[in-house]
A and B are shown apart, each in its own frame.
Chain A
Amino acid sequence: MNGQYASLLVALPLISAFFVPLIKGLGGRAIKYYLTLITALQAGVAAWVFKTVYTTGKPIIVMAGGWRPPVGIDLYIGHFAALFVLIVALVSFFMAIFSFDSVSTEPTDKYAMLFLLLMLGATGMIATGDIFNLFVFMEITSITAYALTAYNKTGEAAEAAMKYIVLGGIGSSFFLIGIALIYGSTGTLNMAQLAQLAGSINPTVIKVGLSLLVFGLAVEAELFPLNAWAPDAYQAAPHPVTAMFSAFVVKAGLYALARLVYLFSHAAGWDFILKLLVIMATLTVFAAEFSALRQRDVKRMIAYSSISQVGLIALALSVGSQLGVQAGVFHMINHAVVKTLLFLTVGYVGVKVGGTGIENFSGLGRKMPLTAFALTVGALAAVGIPLFNIFWSKVWIIIASIEQGYAWEAGVVLAASVVEAVYYLRLIHTMWFGGWDGIRIRESLPLGTIALFLVLLILAIGVYPNPFWTLAKSAGTDIFNVSRYIANVPLMGVGP
């Protein structure tokens, strides 16, 4: 099984997505079982890829059609991509199981197809080594995300999808303009070669091109002024889809942003872009935290909290030091685990108790003890209490950003996370000490096991973060260390 089989990562969801209409004949439940099977398979392949990449230490390069880059499009599955494709697959597998009871609106086969394509788009964005290919995968993710947001067929869902479409459309068009400019001046689309040529492009073109690329991805990665669509989309989308949005769709955008930014580190005007990203990231954290303070809807509150944590990751990635990027990646892993747990539990409460308003959560400790316990652990982890996983990455991010001289930004972020502590702890108080109507709700076994697995994962990382930290370190160097990236990609001698 040499590297080429890694292309299964992209091929498997694509093919199985188009087999779904055939399964439709066997009935709704069959589709969901099929969906879980496919995501399980994908998780297997991703685990195999993860093992090979981390044991051999060398990334897997998949050449589309056997053409060596820069002529052919190549998938570069390095340390980061292997790790994150596995996370994407696992989260999708959990969400597939969660879709059993949470997604009930009619065309479940359409849901399954979109689900698989969303997973495909995210995996593609992470694995690709070619910027136009990145654009294509980004578009696949966006379009499936628009459809999934509008899936519930309610007025709010349609409205949220419409906002996402308008803003996403503008973002991707300008991303394409950026690609056009970059391609115009360098003549290549392959990331590795771009990195080599970055220094030689004339300053104005590269400045405009890079800023447009960053703009396009920033809309996808929910940085401050551009993330106005995100709270509505998170709130209106079906529960498993919101979990996937916050767990890996945003991360894919963030990874692409970081990859592109660090590719052009020799380009002119690069440090201005970094400074702009730091400011936007800090503002994201600030605005999202404060907007979540007086939220009446818990799902929207956790959406804001997810956006603010994403802002924290963006801050870590754009701080410009290897330590910062590593801390950012470590936070990505922690955030994925915590947010999946939070959206899983909040969604489950929404399904069982009917609606995710704060009043449904009062007295949850007695109504649904297991879910309440999982939600409390997730909330405490998100706040950054020690013995939970986010504590470690948050400490490192703050130290890394101060080390790079961003003490003021670190101060703003810490002030914002004080606000975060307030609204999460208010939620915990309402859950455990609020009054309740006395009806005890039975919780389903599969979701219970998933929630417990995630809780144990959080505690494991929290108590002994060493193994996960080494993973994050190697993944971080993979992004930051561009020269190693170029060395790994077997470029053909053809120059512009």
Chain B
Amino acid sequence: MTLVPEAYVVPLTLFSPLVFGVLAWLFDRDWIREILGVIGAAVPVTVLSLAYEKASSGTISYTIDTGVFKLHFVLNSLSWYFAFIGALVGIAMAFGLSSTSRRGYDWLFSLMSFTGVMGVFLARDFVSLFLFWELMTFGSFMMVLRRNRHESLKYFVLSVIGAYSMLLAIGMVYAKTGTLDYAMASQTLLLLTKMGGVSKAYVDTIFALFLLAFGVKAGVVPLHVWAPGAYGENDQSYTSFFSGVLSKAGVYGFIITLFVMPSLYGIYFAMGTFHGHLTGTYLIAWAGAVTVVVASFLAVLQEDIRKLLAYSSVGQVGYIILALGVFNGVAVGGAMFHVLSHAMFKGLFWLISAALILRTGKTRFEDFGGLAEKMPVTFAMALIAVLSLAGIPPMAGFASKWLIYEGAIQAHMPLVAGTIFLGSALAFAYVVRFLYAVWFGQRPSDLDDVREAPLPLLVGMTILAIPNIVFGIAPGLAVRLINRFFNTNITVNSYYSISTPTGTYNALSVTLVLIVGLAIAGLIYIYGANARKIKVTNTYQSGNPVTEEYNLVIRRNFYRPLAEALDFWLKYSWDRFYERLANLTEDFADWLREGFYNGNVQSYSWYLAIILLILAIWGVL
């Protein structure tokens, strides 16, 4: 670690994105801005990878004394893991942004949210967590504000409600323990609960407030309403960072409340158990399960590529929350692995959608079609992302989902495991729908001149595609890293094979056998006669000649039968519920304003008289 002295690791990772973001915003010239931005995103990746051994063995701590508070940051193996995933997706986003957005504004606020997320991962005390949390929310909000006011306000209000409930919880912790540092606060809280210094309801509220804050950012079902709008109405390459990493801040928050603050862990037991599981975590598991099912069903029925990816992202994070809720070693290990694989394949998906929208300018499925020939490299990347998201064995997505299955079933949570099955089938369904609608079938005439995605975007995609394959074939690599900060009882036999108490998964042997199988099938294929290539429209149409503009595809509402089967549930939507709530508050505000400040000086004097009366009565008593 000679290159970067230890004292500079944390400040460099934390502040270089913001500083370069501001520079990129100031020097708003075409190529200078891009270079500055990419450097800003590259610094954290390089610094973190250099600090790997130091961080994974010991800890690097760093404090900023701002007078009002002491902001304390620590880089240990847990924060290194999350920060590195964030930085990796960050650099991919930077490459993506340099081809999709030409504005200093986007660079400033995307890199500001980058700093915010890094701060959240490295923070060691509540106030710095809250500060960087607000910074992250504000950065990502400004990215959406530019494109759609309604969605951005919806996103901001929900995240600010989350942030302020966190502040309330921090205040309540500070009130009882007098300290803001994670470790000390949790120790004292644990002691207090033991000696009965603090009531159980008090601790439950702290726990609930924290989970509300982190639930909003992770997009747990009732609070996920902002996700489709915020992810959709945004520069798609930034959304790869937004949905890939910012949702992980919510997950990181869950980890803090569940693990880093042992007192709350201790308090869990005080919350009692619900036939064998801790009530607290059981609720989280079910919240995750509901998120997976609801979000996946909604994703399947979407017509817009961005909405589909947004709901799918909410669903995938639901898996992580579910696994954290299951709360046994294997499941939590699976959750951490899924954090990695989700960031990779979801980031890749969003970059692909960025390329698609950049080149075709269209976002609805019915306008796409037959792009496989036109954008071959992006298509290859899409295949990798599809295989990984659907959880096909050689890919990273499968390894993490497999661990979550094992964990859930071992922890005797059968129904939750059942939802995982349903969720992964739905994931398979909407991923194939994406493949079909965008890449195959007849190409609409106005997409004929579509060119391949620009080079920087392709570089970004490859950065995210490689880990998908690497961690798919060698899950041991990632699990060894995770075992460094959690004692998941997943044994790592070798790079390629991981085994849990109940089952093993040797990725290498599965891949080898798959290659052998493909070889055999290929042999049979070659054995047959060679095939003549024909045009897409030349199909068995029972005789009638098919012309070019005759549309031979069913891209619009591909899953209408499923929608019919679910129409009972689709009547209710959280979105409409929140809209009505918002209008209610605005009308209440109007009523209050008209009622109280009604302009008549006499009524104002009556208000004074009433207060006088109260004081007089109290004075006399």
Report which A residues bind B (CB closer than 8 A). 162-163, 166-167, 170-171, 174, 204, 207-208, 211-212, 214-215, 218-219, 225-226, 228-229, 231-232, 269, 272, 276, 287, 290-291, 293-294, 330, 380, 384-387, 391-392, 395-396, 398-399, 401-403, 405, 407, 410-411, 414-415, 417-419, 421-422, 425-426, 428-429, 432-433, 464-467, 469-470
Contact = CB atoms under 8 A, between A and B. Distances in A.
B31 interface: no
Given A395-B130, A466-B68, A167 B157 contact: no
Nearest to A414: B164
Contacts of A287: 592, 596
Interface string B56-92: 0000000001111100000000000000000000000
Contact of A207 (B67, B146, B171, B619): B619
Contacts of A291: 589, 592-593, 596-597
A228 B592 CA distance: 13
Contact of B68 (A226, A392, A429): A392
Contacts of B607: 225-226, 228
B171 A402 contact: yes
B618 A272 contact: yes
A182 to B, nearest CB: 13
A434 B174 CA distance: 43
A218 B156 CA distance: 34
A363 B381 CA distance: 41
A403 B610 CA distance: 31
Nearest to A430: B149
B138 A386 contact: yes
B153 A215 contact: no
B145 interface: yes
B615 A294 contact: no
Among A218, A392, A425, A428, the most chain B Cβ lie within 10 Å of the Cβ of A425
Contact of A470 (B67, B132, B168, B604): B67
Given A276-B614, A403-B171, A403-B174, 12 more contacts: A167-B608, A208-B616, A208-B620, A225-B607, A232-B599, A272-B618, A399-B174, A402-B172, A407-B172, A415-B164, A419-B585, A465-B67
Interface in B16-43: none
B588 interface: yes
A162 B601 contact: yes
A215 B596 contact: no
B601 A166 contact: yes
A264 to B, nearest CB: 13
A287 B597 CA distance: 10
B145 A425 contact: yes
A46 to B, nearest CB: 24
**Size bin of chain B's contact surface:** 35 or more
A385 B145 CA distance: 15
A429 B233 CA distance: 15
B375 interface: no
Contacts of A417: 164
A293 B156 CA distance: 16
A73 to B, nearest CB: 28
Given A294-B593, A386-B132, A391-B134, A402 B605 contact: no
B184 interface: no
9 contacts: A167-B601, A226-B607, A226-B608, A228-B596, A380-B138, A391-B131, A429-B152, A466-B66, A467-B67
A317 B89 CA distance: 46
A320 to B, nearest CB: 14
Interface of B: 65-69, 127, 130-132, 134-135, 138, 141, 145-146, 149, 152-153, 156-157, 160-161, 164-165, 167-168, 170-172, 174-175, 585-586, 588-590, 592-593, 596-597, 599, 601, 603-605, 607-608, 610-612, 614-616, 618-620
A396 B69 CA distance: 9
Contacts of A231: 597
Contacts of A395: 68-69, 127, 130, 167
Contacts of A405: 175
Contacts of B175: 399, 402-403, 405, 407
Contacts of A226: 607-608, 611
A455 B134 CA distance: 20
A422 B157 contact: yes
A399 B170 contact: yes
Given A294-B593, A407-B171, A465-B67, A225 B161 contact: no
Nearest to A433: B146
A418 B157 contact: yes
A171 B607 CA distance: 12
B611 A208 contact: no
A393 B614 CA distance: 32
A212 B599 CA distance: 25
Contacts of B614: 276
B171 A385 contact: no
A211 B615 contact: yes
B171 A212 contact: no
B614 to A, nearest CB: 8
A212 B615 CA distance: 8
A221 to B, nearest CB: 13
A262 to B, nearest CB: 19
Contacts of B590: 293-294
A226 B601 CA distance: 11
B174 A402 contact: yes
Contacts of B170: 399
A415 B164 CA distance: 8
B332 to A, nearest CB: 31
Among B69, B156, B593, the most chain A Cβ lie within 10 Å of the Cβ of B593
Contacts of B145: 425, 428-429, 433
Nearest to B167: A398
Contacts of B160: 418, 421
Nearest to A429: B149
Contact of B611 (A166, A225, A392, A432): A225
B612 A215 contact: yes
A409 to B, nearest CB: 11
Contacts of B141: 425
A170 B138 contact: no
Given A207-B618, A225-B607, A294 B586 contact: yes
Contact of A294 (B149, B174, B589, B605): B589
Given A166-B605, A294-B590, A465 B597 contact: no
B213 to A, nearest CB: 12
User: 6 closest A-B pairs (Cβ-Cβ)?
Assistant: A466-B67, A402-B171, A208-B619, A228-B604, A414-B164, A291-B593
B68 A386 contact: no
Nearest to B607: A225
Given A225-B610, A385-B138, A398-B171, A170 B157 contact: no
Among B67, B141, B588, B620, the most chain A Cβ lie within 10 Å of the Cβ of B67
Contacts of A414: 164-165, 167-168
Contacts of A422: 153, 156-157
A215 to B, nearest CB: 6
Nearest to A211: B615
A402 B168 contact: yes
Nearest to A181: B619
A465 B66 contact: yes
Given A272-B618, A385-B138, A387-B135, A398 B65 contact: no
Contact of B168 (A214, A396, A398): A398
Nearest to A400: B171
Contacts of B608: 167, 170-171, 219, 225-226
Contacts of B593: 290-291, 293-294
A137 B316 CA distance: 65
Contacts of A294: 586, 589-590, 593
Contacts of A386: 131-132, 134-135, 138
Contacts of B135: 385-387
Nearest to B105: A432
B68 A465 contact: yes
Among B65, B149, B171, the most chain A Cβ lie within 10 Å of the Cβ of B171
A162 to B, nearest CB: 7
